[in-house]
Chain A
Amino acid sequence: QSILTQPPSVSEAPRQRVAISCSGSSSNVGNNAVNWYRQFPGKAPKLVIFYNDLLPSGVSDRFSGSKSGTSAFLAISGIQSEDEAYYYCAAWDDIVNGWVFGGGTRLTVL
Chain B
Amino acid sequence: QITLKESGPTLVTPTQTLTLTCTFSGFSLTTSGVGVNWIRQPPGKALEWLALIYWDDDKRYSPSLKSRLTIAKDTSKNQVVLAMTKMDPVDTATYYCAHEDNSSSSGVDVWGPGTTVTVYS
Contacts and interface: CB of A to CB of B under 8 A. Distances in A.
Interface string A90-104: 101000111111111
Interface of B: 37, 39, 46-49, 51-52, 60-63, 96, 105-114
Contacts of A103: 46
Nearest to A41: B44
A44 B107 contact: no
Most buried by A among B47, B112, B113, B114: B47
A50 B100 CA distance: 11
Contacts, number: 66
Given A44-B96, A44-B113, A96-B62, A90 B46 contact: no
Interface residues of A, number: 25
A99 B106 CA distance: 13
Chain A facing B: main interface SS: strand
Interface in A60-110: 88, 90, 92, 96-104
B114 to A, nearest CB: 5
Contacts of A101: 39, 46-49
